């Protein structure tokens, strides 16, 4: 009986080793995390974090179903094209970059959706050391290719909405009408090119 359980343990270990053996890295020159938020109730402010690192592990080099995703975002790389606004975003009103210099995104599940090239990712998103589960709609852009230099690449766009207050981003100025100067709901868009290691 002991041998039977040993056999089961070895078989389970072999299955685990066989899964997620293909490793991909996010190309930093073609990866960013963008955001879009309503301003004064009448327009939108957009920006991006330009320094994003990430890895993805898959079972094969052609299928991303059940992929394991792990990304890290440098808060100090925020860029809205206005230096004063960028500096304000780094304060305790928003990201408190001195205390919390990194945001992280780690997948809980990554499943094929009904349409080809579409996935649903549930991920633990951590901002200001607050972690919440967020669902992303993910699109694979154009399949897997070989670039002119012989590297294997795949491109993805992931989109989600969050309430910034859920993550302790507390800036709360309002107009006399009660409209938020900066809306609570924020659109997140992550674009990445993955390179097969």
User: What does the pLDDT profile of the chain (197 residues) look like in tens digits?
Assistant: 556 545 444 544 444 444 548 999 999 999 999 999 999 999 999 999 999 999 999 999 999 999 999 999 999 999 999 999 999 999 999 999 999 999 999 999 999 998 999 999 999 999 999 999 999 999 999 999 999 999 999 999 999 999 999 999 999 999 999 999 999 999 999 999 999 99
User: What pLDDT is stored for residue 8 in this prediction?
Assistant: 47
At 125 the pLDDT is 98
What does residue 30 show for φ and ψ, rounded to 5 degrees? -135, 35
pLDDT at 88: 98
Listed by start position, the domains of the chain span 20-196
pLDDT of residue 114: 85
Rounded to two decimals, what is the model's pTM? 0.86
CB atoms within 10 A of CB 166: 13
CATH number of 20-196: 2.40.128.110
Q: What is the pLDDT of residue 18?
A: 47
Q: Look-up: residue for tokens 């440098």? A: 74
Phi and psi torsions of 16, nearest 5° = -65, -40
**In 19-172, where do the E strands start and end?**
22-26, 32-39, 43-49, 52-58, 68-74, 78-79, 102-112, 118-127, 130-146, 152-163
């Amino acid at each position: 009986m002991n041998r039977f359980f040993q056999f089961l343990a070895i078989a389970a270990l072999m299955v685990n080793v066989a899964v997620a053996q293909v490793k991909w890295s996010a190309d930093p020159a073609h990866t960013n995390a963008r955001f879009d938020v309503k301003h004064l109730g009448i327009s939108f402010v957009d920006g991006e974090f330009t320094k994003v690192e990430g890895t993805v592990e898959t079972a094969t080099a052609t299928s991303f179903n059940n992929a394991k995703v792990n990304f890290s975002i440098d808060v100090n790389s925020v860029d809205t094209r206005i230096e004063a606004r960028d500096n304000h975003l780094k304060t305790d009103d928003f990201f408190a970059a001195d205390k919390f210099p990194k945001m992280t995104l780690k997948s809980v599940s990554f499943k094929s959706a009904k349409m080809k090239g579409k996935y649903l990712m549930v991920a633990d998103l951590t901002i200001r050391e607050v972690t919440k589960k967020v669902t992303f709609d993910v699109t694979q852009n154009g399949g897997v290719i070989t670039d002119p230099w012989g590297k294997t690449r795949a491109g993805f766009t992931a989109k989600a909405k969050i309430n910034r207050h859920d993550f302790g981003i507390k800036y709360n100025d309002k107009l006399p009408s009660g409209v938020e100067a900066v809306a609570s709901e924020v659109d997140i868009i992550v674009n990445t090119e993955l390179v097969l290691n």
